[in-house]
Amino acid sequence: MKFGFIGLGNMGAPMAANLAKAGHDVTGFDTAGVEVEGVTVASSAAEAARGAQVVITMLPNGKILRAVAAEVIPAMEAGAVLLDCSTVDVDSARDVAAQAQEAGLSALDAPVSGGVGGASAGTLTFMVGGDEAGFKTARDLFDIMGQKAVHCGPAGNGQSAKICNNMILGATMIVTCEAFALADKLGLDRQAMFDVVSTSSGSSWSMNTYCPAPGIGPKSPADNDYTPGFAAELMLKDLTLAQQAAETADADTPLGRAARELYAQFVENEGGTGRDFSAMLPRFEKRGRS
């Protein structure tokens, strides 16, 4: 198959590389002029999209997605698929899908979970919104770039699934870090805490798989001085998107809102930028009750 891939950053580059390694014809474009092994470099997004059966985008936000869509949709052939793997607001995803459909294209919003490591290893999870025909066309691609793809319903539902998932993740990471800091002050050994909680009703992905305490549990960014697997500012972005969606939907999400406020404080005022989102633990270690 012939692919256009627009957005060759930390996530997009290894995803495009995996498609090329699988033998597909991939033409890529990035405003930073990035080159990826096996990927032909285009001079513009529109050039990357011309003649492609599937155009994949991996972009920073909804505003940029809208701008790129306005450029590539006219360049795409009827029946092609516009597959957006960015994490953006639900309204942008749905508006771009409507534009694509009006042009005779299939459109999918398919944000991912798994981080840069998952992108490189081809083990991402895709949360997909959009029409069934487009999902069937893209199914084999999901198998190359990831390990699982879930069709969540119509356009925008992939984004909805992503922000709901990450609202849970943000809140559970905060309370996991709080619990370790409390255990320290109560004199409870961290290993004992992990051994109990990871096999009890307090278990979670944040504890069992991505433990924020160095030297405890499986290897995680905590064991590398909190160098990001998933940066705190990206968690803040996703929690902000969740609160924007909750406002639009008139949904009461007090814990999601509190998690967003804590990550905003951490990123904007406490040096959290460039650190993993699990670096909330050393933050809480330094704080007393307020």
Q: Which residues are catalytic?
A: 162
Say if strands 54-57 and 2-6 run parallel, antiparallel, or are unpaired.
parallel
Question: Which residue has tokens 């999601």?
Answer: 256
Phi-psi region of 60 (alpha: psi -120 to 50; beta: other; left: phi over 0): alpha
Angstrom distance (rounded) from CA 277 to CA 263 = 8
Contact call for residues 56 and 5 (beta carbons, < 8 A): yes
Beta bridge partners of 113: 125
Angstrom distance (rounded) from CA 269 to CA 267 = 6
Max alpha carbon distance in the chain (Å)?
Answer: 65
Beta strands in 79-168 (DSSP E): 81-84, 106-109, 112-113, 124-130, 146-153
State the DSSP H helix or E strand holding residue 161, giving kind and residue range, or none if neither. helix 157-186
Angstrom distance (rounded) from CA 82 to CA 4 = 9
Contact call for residues 126 and 112 (beta carbons, < 8 A): yes
The CA angle 20-229-208, to the nearest 5 degrees, is 115
